[in-house]
Amino acid sequence: MSHIVLDHLGKSFGASHVFDDLNLDIEEGEFIVLVGPSGCGKSTLLRLIAGLEDVSRGNLLIDGACVNSTPAKKRDIAMVFQSYALYPHMNVADNMSFALRLAGVSKADRSQRVDAAADILGLSHLLKRLPRELSGGQRQRVAMGRAIVRDPKAFLFDEPLSNLDAKLRHKMRGEIRKIHQRLERTTIYVTHDQTEAMTMADRIVVMNAGQIEQVGEPRELYRDPDNLFVASFIGTPE
């Protein structure tokens, strides 16, 4: 059974249609990269999957069940944003465990989960630091740590590396893939960076003007684009 299914999914804000009739089956553990021009609805789709926006038309299925009316906190999905939104007055460990504390997870369990996530992310020596004492890459790792400690079934990333310089982006790409190999969680990763899409994806989903233009493995899209839009989007060098 597919993990996440978009079934004729549509979203409007009032009279403005963002997308209509999106259909996609995402398998458990798959790394999907979602690409498309600014304003085509990528963030809206992620927010809808996370439960932060309501479905306007069609159905969203998780593990075969329709979750259109399931609140975000019951979906077991964690989202990582481009802006890290760390709490400035809390140290790294507290930033990572805050949501767990709100969820009533015991102190011992929290600290064990923070230690495990910090180990994966190479943050173990920074747990007592404040966000302002960290580099951009380290802050992005803390934001990922907040998602990992929740042990969600799926991760959604919304352009997580776009604030970082090219060298760090390259490094973090590899790290995110490694974390994915280790945790084997379904991941949907939004980017407008072709290199990220080509190097990270199991399958790339190309969106344009509220439609899915093509879905396929990176090599397949590169060699065999369905249309001019996909060809130019995938084929243009960075």
Contact set with ligand ADP (CB under 6 A):
13, 16, 18, 36, 38-44
Give the one entry of Mg ion, ligand ADP, none that residue 41 binds, where binding means its C-beta sits below a cut-off of 5 to 8 angstroms depending on kind: ligand ADP
Measured from the CB atom, the residue of 134 and 158 that comes closer to ligand ADP is 158
Contact 150, 86 (CB under 8 A): no
Distance CA(188)–CA(169), nearest Å, equals 17
* Residue 95 site contact among Mg ion, ligand ADP, none (CB < 5 to 8 Å, cut-off depends on kind): none
Which CB, 179 or 230, lies closer to ligand ADP? 230
Residue 232: φ, ψ to 5°: -75, -35
Number of Cβ atoms within 10 Å of the Cβ of 76: 14
| Distance of closest approach, residue 45 Cβ to Mg ion, in angstroms | 9
Task: Return the number of the residue (41 or 145) whose C-beta is nearest ligand ADP.
Answer: 41
Q: Which of residues 29-48 bind Mg ion (CB under 5 A)?
A: 43
Phi, psi (rounded to 5 degrees) for 30: -75, 150
Residue 163 is classified by DSSP as: T
Distance, in Å, from the CA atom of 122 to the CA atom of 164, rounded to the nearest integer, reads 18
For the CB of residue 38, give the shortest distance to ligand ADP in the complex, in Å. Answer: 4
CB of 40 or CB of 134, closer to Mg ion = 40
Does the protein bind Mg ion through residue 191 (CB under 5 A)?
A: no
Q: Total residues at the site for Mg ion (CB under 5 A)? A: 1
One-letter identity of residue 159 = E
Q: What does the alpha-carbon distance between residue 220 and residue 226 come to, in Å, rounded to a whole number?
A: 10
Chain contacts with Mg ion (rule: CB under 5 A): 43
